[in-house]
Amino acid sequence: MILNIKVPSPGESITEVELVRWLVENNEIVEKNAEVAEIDSDKATLTITAEESGKIEFTAKEGDKVNVGASIGTIDSEFAFVKKENSETANNSFANNSETQIIEKSQDIDTSHLSITPLAKNILSDSKINPDVFSNRHEKITKKIVLEELNQITIPNSNRPVDIVKMSSLRKKLAERLVAVKNQTAMLTTFNEVDMTEIIRIRNLYKEDFKEKYGSHLGFISFFVNAVVQGFQDFPQINASIDGENFYYYKYADVGIAVSTQKGLMVPVIKNANELNLKETELKLAELAAKARDNKITLEELTGGTFTITNGGVFGSLMSTPILNPPQSAILGMHKIMDRAVVINGKIEIRPMMYIALSYDHRIIDGKESVGFIVKVKEILESPVEKIFKGEANIKTVLGI
């Protein structure tokens, strides 16, 4: 039975995706539910799985733009049946000799002197690379080897090598949005610093119990999420956006957390963060971050944010100017925690300090509100026992340990 491999819908507004790469070889025998292809939209990267076991045949190439619902290949389930019923024959015919699994499609180049897979030969033919460059290689020439050679091209009029990587749809969309921020907003940034002593003390006391019970680390960002949603109560302009001549002041807080992935920056959104306590925020954040890094995040989980937090400190950034995530009016940047000499009650002490930065759209937020908000966040973070947990005795209860 021949089954079509159809492109699933990444979201309501998306009608076209890019076939980023095949995760299997053409005419390979694949198992049911195995990931066979990766598609990319301007919102997220998703994988396509095999509905049944069988022999896969590609009808679309990597890099092709394909419509949602269109077929990019087929699976012949009869081959899975032969493999299951007569494993010895199947192994001899398919598994141990990939050359017998596929009808050669590229006959315009001579590769008779090479040990090469059919998919690698097709790519070699399309690229017009001279097959003789692989003559001294003793291993089987695979798709990966051909692509590595293809990437080692040279700049015109130069012998210096350079890798060229095609921009993904996600990266293209991100680039467009970043340029739009510069051209369409009046972005300014205000800075402050936070003494992280109390937060570090609380984490050190309870992080092991928290991890033992929930299997998740007790991080810093959940404290910041709690602090900013409290700040929205006094400064609603921060949790707002502009649409034409209208200001939208949100009565809820959907806080996006910037997460770095292999595909680029993604911003999963913690919905209704204003209704969550610190434990609930931490567990939701861990869930979303894992999905983003594993390419399992859904479009719904990436949309609808009203405010964003980004943490350049995980990469060692001491201070930076975060860029707005439109149409939001503000974004908070966290940075590296550094021991610094500060004056406490007239005495110099060494404290773990973090610079924080609030970038904001001056069209809706004035300097007074931006400074007032970041000071409010600082006060909450420096007094988490009183401001977040409402007393030392409540910490374990809030953390659920």
pLDDT tens per residue across all 401 residues of the chain = 889 999 887 766 678 888 888 988 898 888 888 889 888 876 667 789 898 899 999 999 988 899 988 999 999 888 754 444 444 443 443 334 333 333 334 445 677 788 887 677 777 777 667 787 787 777 778 777 887 777 665 455 556 677 777 777 667 777 777 788 878 889 999 999 999 999 999 999 999 999 999 999 999 999 999 999 999 999 999 999 998 889 999 999 999 998 877 766 788 999 999 999 999 999 999 999 888 888 788 878 888 899 999 999 988 999 999 999 888 999 999 999 999 999 999 999 999 999 999 999 999 999 999 999 999 999 999 999 999 999 999 999 999 99
d(CA 57, CA 23): 12
The one catalytic residue in 132, 234, 294, 366 is 366
| CATH superfamily label, 171-399 | Chloramphenicol acetyltransferase-like domain (3.30.559.10)
The DSSP H or E segment spanning 322 is none
Q: Is 366 a catalytic residue?
A: yes
24: tokens are 């299997």
91: tokens are 């192994």
β-pair partners for 57: 74
2-6/71-76 β-pairing: antiparallel
Q: Is 335 a catalytic residue?
A: no
Phi, psi dihedrals of residue 142, rounded to the nearest 5°: -110, 175
Q: Which fold has domain 1-102?
A: OB fold (Dihydrolipoamide Acetyltransferase, E2P) (2.40.50)
Report pTM: 0.65
Entry field: residues in the chain = 401
Residues of the chain with CATH 3.30.559.10: 171-399
Looking at residue 364, its amino acid is: I
Residues of the chain with CATH 2.40.50.100: 1-102
The one catalytic residue in 113, 132, 217, 362 is 362
The residues, ordered by sequence, that sit 6+ positions from 316 with a Cβ below 8 Å of its Cβ are 336
